[in-house]
Structure 1
Amino acid sequence: MELNITTEKKNSLLGRTEVYGTVTFEGATPSNAQVSEALAKKYGKDTDTVVVKHILGKFGGITATFEADVYDTKEQLLKTEPKKKEKAAGTAPAA
């Protein structure tokens, strides 16, 4: 897997770097966790401070585009990113 950064925008108000780029891969499209790990390594940050918004690939292709945010600190991430709702235990899915 190879990452190519096409656009990098520093957002100092939110304490993050907004990253856009392409990823070249073999086989299946890489998961958000794999791209997050690669970006954390590239920027010298912890994986907890990287949020991959989406990865868009074309059917049968070996490249995909991605959008991600690399936060300066974990606290900035918690202030900015929306909280995920937890599923209620014991509820059945709608039929």
Structure 2
Amino acid sequence: MEFEVTRDTRNALLKRREVDFELRFEGPTPSRMQVTGKLAAMMNVAENTVVLDTMKTRFGVMELSGSARIYDSEEERNKVERGYLLTRGVPKAKEEEGA
């Protein structure tokens, strides 16, 4: 996966960075968790402070463009972000069988 940040701006009021990126990949489209992990590693931040907003692919092209927000802390992220964005892309916990 080749990762390229196309825009990185600071939003001091909401204590976050707003990032646009492009990702080139081979094979199937990476999951939201893989993209979040790669972005966190590249930006040298914790994964729990990154919120992946959009991921867009085009037919026939192994390229993805998207946007994300990187907060200063997990508490700031929880104050500002909508709940569905925090849980989107997270694998569901398996329910216990036989219950």
User: Please, what TM-score do these two structures have when normalized by structure 1?
Assistant: 0.83
Task: State the Cα distance separating 1:83 from its structure 2 match.
Answer: 2.0
Q: Which residue of 2 aligns with 1:83?
A: 83
CA distance in 2, matches of 1:43, 1:76: 18
- Aligned residue pairs: how many? 84
Q: Which runs of 5+ in 2 are unaligned?
A: 85-99
One-letter amino acid of the structure 1 residue matched with residue 24 of structure 2: T
- Once the two structures are superposed, residues 19-63 of structure 1 have per-residue CA deviations (whole angstroms, 9 ceiling, x without a partner) of 001000001111111111011111211111101111100112111
CA distance in 2, matches of 1:50, 1:81: 11
Residue 76 of structure 1 aligns to a residue whose secondary structure is helix
Contact 1:8/1:19 (8 A) holds in 2: yes
- Once the two structures are superposed, residues 55-75 of structure 1 have per-residue CA deviations (whole angstroms, 9 ceiling, x without a partner) of 100112111101111111001
CA distance in 2, matches of 1:62, 1:80: 33
Q: Which residue of 2 aligns with 1:55?
A: 55
Contact 1:9/1:18 (8 A) holds in 2: yes
Q: Which runs of 5+ in 1 are unaligned?
A: 85-95
CA distance in 2, matches of 1:65, 1:43: 17
Structure number with higher helix proportion? 2
- Following superposition of structure 1 onto structure 2, how do residues 13-92 of structure 1 map, counting pairs within 5 Å? 13-84=13-84
Work out which of the two has the higher radius of gyration on C-alpha atoms and give 1 or 2: 1
Q: Would you identify which runs of 4 or more consecutive aligned residues in structure 1 move more than 3 Å?
A: none
CA distance in 1, matches of 2:24, 2:9: 22
Contact 1:32/1:54 (8 A) holds in 2: no
User: Please, what TM-score do these two structures have when normalized by structure 2?
Assistant: 0.80
